[in-house]
Amino acid sequence: MSAPTPLLMLGLPKGSLEESTKTLFAKAGWKITTSSRSYRPSIDDSELDGRFVRAQEVSRYVEHGFFDCGLTGYDWVQENESDVVEVCDLIYSRASTLKSRWVLCVPEASDVQKPEDLAGKRVATELMGTVKRYFAERGIDAKVEFSWGATEVKVPDLVDAIVDITETGSSLRANNLRIVDTLLETNTKLIANKASWANPAKRKKIETIAMLLQGALQADNKVGLKMNLERSRVDAVQAILPAMRGLTVAPLTVADWCAVETVIPESDARELIPKLIELGAEGIVEYPLNKIVH
C-alpha cells in the first residue's frame, strides 16, 4: 500500500533559521529530521511533508503553491513582494527570540551622518529592492549594488555604506560600524498560500501548527513553579508572583493548606524562591515548560 498523500507541504528555511526552526518544531511536538546534505526532511506526522529551501525563496514558492505554508523572515516576504497570507508572527531568529533589523551602516570614522550624505555614493546590500526603494522614496541618488554576503568587509574599501541585518549587534561591533538609520524590522513569520488557506482542512491544520509553534515560543525561558502554603499566606505570596491570569490555588487535604501554581520567567526563579521560602512556602517545585497555549 502506498503512503497517504500528506495534507500540507511545508516550506522550511535552510540557513540562519534552520536549527532554531527545528528546535521550535520539536518543542511544538513535531520531530523534523534531516540527513546531511538532504533537503527532504522526514516529519513524524503523516499529514505533513516539507522541504528546506533558502529563506529568500520560501515566500515565492508559497505564493506559487508548491508549499501550502512556510516559515521565513518578513524581510524576504517584503523584498519578494509575495502575495501570501501572513498567518502569525513567530519572533525568533538565529540566536535569540528577538526581532532583527536591517540597518544602514557606515564605518565609525565616516563623515556620513544621515542618509542624504550618501548621494552619489555606493551602498552594498543583499536586500536590493527594499534598499533601492528606501533611497528612491527620499530622492537620494545613491548607487545600490548587490552583495552575496560578508557585506561588512566591503566598507570602506569597496563601498561607502552597507545595509545589512543585525540581530545581536556583534558583527557591527566587530567591524567598527555605526548605524545611520533602520530600514526594516523583521521577524520570522508563518505564511500560507491563499488557495490553501481557503481550503478548510488545510487551514485547520495550518492554524494548529500556528497555535503550537506560538505556544512553544511563549514557553521559551519560562518555568512552572508550584508549592504548598498555609492559606493565610496566599495574599503575601500573590503580591510577589507574576501570573498569567491570577494564581492557581487548590485546596490540600490538610486543613488550611493549599497548593499554589504559576508560571514565571526562568531568570526570576533564583530571586523568587528564597523569598517564597521566607513567606512560608514548602515543597517548591520548579519545572520546565514546552508550550503555553492561550
Give the binding site for ligand PRP (CB under 6 A): 16, 95, 149-152, 164-171
Asked if 167 is part of the footprint of ligand ATP (rule: CB under 6 A), the reply reads yes
Question: Quick one: what does residue 186 bind among ligand ATP, ligand PRP, none, with the CB cut-off 5 to 8 Å set by partner type?
Answer: ligand ATP
SS3 11: strand
Q: Which of 15, 29, 107, 224 binds ligand ATP (CB under 6 A)?
A: 15
Nearest approach, Cβ of 55 to ligand PRP (angstroms)? 10
**280-285: long-range contacts (C-beta < 8 A, 24 or more apart)?**
280/229, 280/230, 280/233, 281/227, 281/228, 281/229, 281/233, 281/237, 282/227, 282/228, 282/229, 283/227, 283/228, 284/225, 284/226, 284/227, 285/225, 285/226, 285/227
Question: Quick one: what does residue 169 bind among ligand ATP, ligand PRP, none, with the CB cut-off 5 to 8 Å set by partner type?
Answer: ligand PRP
Whole-number Å distance between alpha carbons of 21 and 9: 16
Nearer to ligand PRP, 59 or 151 (CB): 151
Choices 49-57, 79-87, 217-225, 251-259; region in contact with ligand ATP by CB under 6 A = 49-57
Asked if 72 is part of the footprint of ligand ATP (rule: CB under 6 A), the reply reads yes
C-alpha cell, 120: 552619489
Asked if 131 is part of the footprint of ligand ATP (rule: CB under 6 A), the reply reads no
Q: Are 269 and 286 in contact (CB under 8 A)?
A: yes
Nearest approach, Cβ of 161 to ligand PRP (angstroms)? 14
**241-247: long-range contacts (C-beta < 8 A, 24 or more apart)?**
241/272, 241/276, 242/268, 244/292, 244/294
Counting runs of H as helices and runs of E as strands, what totals does the chain give? 9, 16
The residue number whose beta carbon is nearest to ligand ATP equals 73
Asked if 54 is part of the footprint of ligand ATP (rule: CB under 6 A), the reply reads yes
Contacts with ligand ATP: how many residues (CB under 6 A)? 18
Contact partners, residue 246, CB within 8 Å, separation at least 6 = none
Please name which of 32, 33, 74 lies closest in space to residue 56, comparing C-alpha atoms: 74
Beta strands at 100-107 and 177-186: parallel, antiparallel or unpaired: antiparallel
Nearest approach, Cβ of 149 to ligand PRP (angstroms)? 3
Nearest approach, Cβ of 100 to ligand PRP (angstroms)? 7
Sketch the per residue contact string, 134 through 163, with ligand ATP: x for CB under 6 A, - otherwise. Answer: ---------------x--------------
SS3 184: strand
Question: Quick one: what does residue 218 bind among ligand PRP, ligand ATP, none, with the CB cut-off 5 to 8 Å set by partner type?
Answer: none
Choices 22-30, 34-42, 72-80, 82-90; region in contact with ligand ATP by CB under 6 A = 72-80
Nearer to ligand ATP, 102 or 135 (CB): 102
Question: Quick one: what does residue 170 bind among ligand ATP, ligand PRP, none, with the CB cut-off 5 to 8 Å set by partner type?
Answer: ligand PRP
Q: Are 112 and 106 in contact (CB under 8 A)?
A: yes
Q: What dihedral angle (degrees, nearest 10) is formed by the CA atoms of 173, 178, 182, 183?
A: -100
List residues near ligand ATP by CB under 6 A: 13, 15-17, 54-56, 72-73, 75-76, 93-94, 100, 149, 165, 167, 186
